[in-house]
Amino acid sequence: MNVNNHPLKATQLSSQADAYDILFEPVEIGPVTARNRFYQVPHACGMGHLKPRAHAAMRAVKAQGGWAVVSTEETEIHPSSDLSPFAEQRIWDDHDIPALRLMVDAVHAQGALAAIELVHNGYHATNHYSRIPPLAPGEMSLNTNYPRQARAMDKQDIIGLRRWHMQAAKRAKKAGFDIVYVYAGHGMTLAQQFLIPRFNQRIDEYGGSLQNRSRLTRELLEETKDAIGDKCAIAFRFAVDELMGEDGMQAVEEGHEIVSLLAELPDLWDVNVSGWENDSLTTRFGLEEGYQVSYTKHVKSITSKPVVSVGCFSSPDKMAALVKGKVTDFIGAARPSIADPYLPEKIRDDRVDEIRECIGCNICVSSETLGIPIRCTQNPTMGEEWRRKWHPEIIRPRVSDRSTLVVGAGPAGLECALQLGRRGYHVMVAEASDEIGGRALHESRLHGLSAWRRVCDNRLYELNQKANVDIFRLSQLTANDIVDTDASAVFFATGAKWRRDGVGRSNRREIPGLENIIVHTPDDIMNGVNPGNLPVVIFDDEQGYMGGVIAEQFGATFSDVTIITSASVVSPFTIQTLEQERVQSSLIKKGVKIRTGEIVARAQDDAVETRCLFSGRRQLVACKILVLVTQRTSNNDLLSTIKEADFSSLRQHITHIEAIGDALAPGLIADAVFSGHLAAQNFEGDTREIEQALFRREIPAIPAD
């Protein structure tokens, strides 16, 4: 019996769809109306004013995917709020309007409202480009490591700031935006800095009482409304709690009081928690769907205006319950809209199982902090909408009836197979083990990384629906096996393994003496090897997340754990994902000994010898077990064999051979997924186009003389 045709199943489906109807009701926001309750809140994307075409195309895909409101990232209102070298939006003067209008028009064309988040960043902006001294409620050092200070704003500065904000709002209206934000959140904005006593110690009418500290925000809200409120809705983005207890703003104390004071001024409340590392908490450190609701749920009972809540929502049941329970009016999302721009459409069309769920890894955030266009582990098309013309749901059809073989079912192999399958090719996927998922699955077994298995779960689900895709488990292919298939195109997604000899960025040759000691690699730990309660040393020369994850895992169980890193902090890459402070804090709390700026130079019985990278000083550290997190080696023996001359006659029918993912060059899971996607997109493409135009670039137009 086909379960989809079963009458009970049909009833379930329609009643399920009815249950979600509430999510597709239109909602009025001041003078404008959102077509449903899905609201893409402002989020950074590393494109900003530098890549306006890419930005417009990315936001347009979200509007196409069903989001009723699509917002910009933060938009600097004045050169004294200059976040260079990071690429935010800018609305410094009328010259910025055309670039912003690109996004507005693209979003409107898909039936959504366009929102703009105006910001003055106060002491958070270093003003590297404009060189204007930063502004703040009082004289203070910046929260970057640049040794410059912000100067205290006087009354004239405050009047100036209000004027800039109003002028920016008028420009936003001119650009066509439907919703214009006043922004007090993420520890990044002047309005918020005036609200919080540790930043605002003024003794005039802008400091002291809460009434006084909220004066600037009130003025900004009122003046923005007066200036453009006839046509545009005014949204207020507000962090109700800083998650610092008594040391910061708390929802139950001043957070809710501020909502009461300003309750009816904006047309919409967009509420969250602060700073950014709390709002964009990762799954590694406790992110669960709806994790912010306990802080924000009272806002709706205080104001009659619509409320947007965020919390990495992807389950329609939870969303509908929140709306029915009058906790929120809109389902706000940044990361879920990045991982799956079509989330609303999939809910509306009863395709919930196809939703690509965010894994909470913050690789998207790292793009912003690195100053590069956005990318996403789950959605390889994110950021590629304009420059590579990729789309999360649409891919060009096959150009022949060739049969394809993907060897290895890790993130790269699965993504490649999925996209080849979507294109309509016959795809065989051979996986050596009985489990599908490769490193995404293996790494998901490590401390805090369980959500990472969603990378394989989602793809496997979709592959299983496809009649043109066959998956073979327990199929460790040899070169002979490969030539025996009828595949004429073979993609090698065979992954990589961690090195056991210590070669890495600091030791370009094998670490001497390793034969004297028990050595493990991350692969061993993922395979369940348990070092026991012996002195364990983790040598992290890779500087990604892996060394810190293993140290945390061991620190939770064992008493004598040391991490030695060649970096100056543990897991420096996690600064980009906003996790580093939590990583180091967790290790310290677990009693893990941390040695920075050192490498393991040699091993001997019961000890390793370290070398300080700065002074050259050598020391012995007790060690029975050494875990080497240094470098990986691609598994490309099979590929080499196939390419050997002996095979040339046997493999004449194989005209396309390509390594992808970690088998090509080890990197992040996001890199492997991207690599698999790229190979499937390019397969049987126009080689000239692929070689000459890897992607389109946004080059400033310079008029001819």
Question: Of 663, 668, 678, 680, which lies in the binding site for ligand ADP, with binding defined by CB under 6 A?
Answer: 663
Residues contacting residue 605 through CB under 8 Å, at least 6 positions apart: 516, 517
Query: What secondary structure letter does DSSP report for 252?
Result: I
Return the one option of ligand ADP, ligand SF4, none that residue 553 interacts with (CB less than 5 to 8 A, by type).
none
Question: Measured between alpha carbons, how far is 335 from 314 in angstroms, rounded to an integer?
Answer: 10
Binding mask 62-91 for ligand SF4 (x = CB under 6 A): ------------------------------
Q: Which two tokens stand for residue 661?
A: 């993912």
Q: Are 627 and 550 in contact (CB under 8 A)?
A: yes
Q: How far is the CB of 345 from ligand ADP (least distance, A)?
A: 28
Question: Of 408, 502, 535, 547, which lies in the binding site for ligand ADP, with binding defined by CB under 6 A?
Answer: 408
* Closer by beta carbon to ligand SF4, 59 or else 335: 335
* Closer by beta carbon to ligand ADP, 407 or else 551: 407
Stretch that binds ligand SF4, among 189-197, 201-209, 375-383, 627-635 (CB under 6 A): 375-383
Determine if 412 is a binding residue for ligand ADP (CB under 6 A). yes
* Closer by beta carbon to ligand ADP, 161 or else 496: 496
Stretch that binds ligand ADP, among 272-280, 409-417, 507-515, 519-527 (CB under 6 A): 409-417
Question: Measured between alpha carbons, how far is 80 from 72 in angstroms, rounded to an integer?
Answer: 20
Binders of ligand ADP in range 29-88 (CB under 6 A):
none
Question: Measured between alpha carbons, how far is 73 from 50 in angstroms, rounded to an integer?
Answer: 13
Q: How far is the CB of 554 from ligand ADP (least distance, A)?
A: 23
Binding mask 305-344 for ligand SF4 (x = CB under 6 A): ------------------------------x--xx-----
Question: Measured between alpha carbons, how far is 14 from 116 in angstroms, rounded to an integer?
Answer: 37
Stretch that binds ligand SF4, among 295-303, 370-378, 468-476, 557-565 (CB under 6 A): 370-378
CB atoms within 10 A of CB 336: 25
* Closer by beta carbon to ligand SF4, 150 or else 678: 678
Buried b vs exposed e over 603-639: b needs ≥16 C-beta within 10 Å?
A: beeebbbbbeeeeeeeeebebbbbbbbbbbebbbebb
Q: How far is the CB of 678 from ligand ADP (least distance, A)?
A: 12
Residues contacting residue 572 through CB under 8 Å, at least 6 positions apart: 543, 580
Number of residues that bind ligand ADP (CB under 6 A): 25
Q: What is the dihedral of CA 632, 635, 636, 638, to 10 degrees?
A: 170
Determine if 663 is a binding residue for ligand SF4 (CB under 6 A). no
Q: Which of these, 531, 522, 516, 511, lies nearest to 599 by C-alpha position?
A: 511
Q: To which H or E segment does residue 15 belong?
A: helix 7-19
Question: Of 196, 232, 343, 407, which lies in the binding site for ligand ADP, with binding defined by CB under 6 A?
Answer: 407
φ and ψ of 171, to 5 deg: -65, -40
* Closer by beta carbon to ligand ADP, 201 or else 476: 476
Side chain identity, residue 47: M
* Closer by beta carbon to ligand ADP, 58 or else 479: 479
Q: Which of these, 625, 384, 666, 382, lies nearest to 497 by C-alpha position?
A: 666
Binders of ligand ADP in range 431-460 (CB under 6 A):
431-433, 438-439
Question: Of 136, 221, 359, 546, which lies in the binding site for ligand SF4, with binding defined by CB under 6 A?
Answer: 359
Binders of ligand SF4 in range 602-631 (CB under 6 A):
none
Question: Measured between alpha carbons, how far is 202 from 206 in angstroms, rounded to an integer?
Answer: 7
Stretch that binds ligand ADP, among 53-61, 401-409, 533-541, 697-705 (CB under 6 A): 401-409
Determine if 278 is a binding residue for ligand SF4 (CB under 6 A). no
Q: Which of these, 424, 503, 428, 414, lies nearest to 471 by C-alpha position?
A: 428
Q: Are 446 and 284 in contact (CB under 8 A)?
A: no
Binding mask 473-502 for ligand ADP (x = CB under 6 A): --xxx---------------xxx-------
Buried b vs exposed e over 130-161: b needs ≥16 C-beta within 10 Å?
A: beeebbbbbebebeeeeeeebeebeeeebeeb
Q: How far is the CB of 45 from ligand SF4 (least distance, A)?
A: 11
Return the one option of ligand ADP, ligand SF4, none that residue 361 interacts with (CB less than 5 to 8 A, by type).
ligand SF4
Which stretches of the chain bind ligand ADP, using CB under 6 A?
407-413, 430-433, 438-439, 475-477, 493-495, 635, 638, 661-663, 672
Which stretches of the chain bind ligand SF4, using CB under 6 A?
335, 338-339, 358-364, 376-378
